[in-house]
Amino acid sequence: MSLISLLLNAALSGVGSWICYRLILSYIPIFIQRKMYGNDQCKVSNDPVPEPMGVICAAVYLIVMFLFIPVPFFEWIGADIIFPYARLLAILSGLISISTAILLGFADDMLDLRWRHKLLFPTLSSLPLLMVYYVSGNSTTVIVPSVLRTFLSSAGFPFVVPVTVNIFYLYYVFMGMVIVFCTNAINILAGINGLESGQSVVIAFSIIVFNIVQLVRVDAQYWHHLVSLYFLIPFASITLVLYHFNKYPAKVFVGDTFCYWAGMTLAVVSILGHFSKTLMLFLIPQTFNFLYSIPQLFHFVPCPRHRLPKFDAESDKLFMSTAVFKKSELKSLGKISLTVFRLAGLLYQREFEKDGETWLEINNLTIINLVLKFCGPMKESRLTLTLLGLQVLGSFFAFFVRFYLASVFYESVE
């Protein structure tokens, strides 16, 4: 029955992708007519580009998922056996969280929400999912690495180090943080054609492969990996269509709606699939970009409104963009951060005198500008492919850690 469910899910995904393709073509002139568009700041042309087209794709995704809800439960409908209400609740709670993330993204596109709202709303959106996780009696234990147990035992610890530790409510705090991080991570790593949709496609297909591998291995969490695929196959196929329109030169912009939808979907499948820690391995570029951006995001270092690369119309290439500010405006944590980045070779910095004051010029702290710092100016299409290549390498590293290193550091793999 599970194979039939997956086939039907794939079939619905294919139909949804075709509908999405047709709808995007239909709505491009409608969005422009209603002034729902932006201008590409990395192009010579100032032609309007429809935005946010992600809301169309998100709507099609929800319709596909709503139509699919009864499929995994056909064998229980009308049968004289106990219906798996916990499984149905898990799917519904995931859809509720995804729907609220889409609503948040659309509100951000229309109203330009402040950062405190972008942190608060995903936290509230996670509550239905975490409540169902709790009432379903799912595990909150973590495995202690065998290397750590051996080290503590040899160090003469007065007690036997357990194989697993139940961290109770801390696990829910961690899952809530994963949801908040995912809904904002893709939104932070954005700004050039095809990057938001492209990285989401790479991550989604990587997790699909991970789930299939776990199913082939007859993993103990069989149902959880199955439900993860139910959510991811439609998402990956529809996002692939969006990438077709969003790649260089972009015919549409995805908008914040897509970023929140993509992030929440990835977070939901990791929690329902019981691999939230593994998900973070597939988000290594996003995690690095977030950590690298912290000084500017939290205003330890002055942050311009836009941190996009600088476009040079003459060469049709993107250059590393910079932030210029008085050295006196730099906060203590900002000084520490810039010192660490400079020592690690991750910072371009120029100090100069102007009007009797010392000024600093640094590269904007994003992985996009960091790639331009190391590789030099490049065309936008090549820059996107370079960043997506890093995402693919991150996925290979994630598989290496998950299936090789985990077997070395753990007696049993989660």
Rounded CA separation 337/406 (Å): 32
pLDDT tier at 245, thresholds 50, 70, 90: very high
Phi/psi of residue 237, each to 5°? Answer: -70, -40
pLDDT tens for residues 36-81? 888 887 787 788 889 889 999 999 999 999 999 999 988 787 777 7
How many Cβ atoms are within 10 Å of 361's Cβ, its own excluded? Answer: 13
List Cβ<8 Å contacts ≥24 apart for 84-87: 86/132, 86/135, 86/136, 87/223, 87/227
pLDDT tens for residues 337-393? 999 999 999 999 999 888 888 899 999 999 999 999 999 999 999 999 999 999 999
**In the chain, what are the domain boundaries?**
2-282+384-409, 286-378
pTM listed for this prediction: 0.91
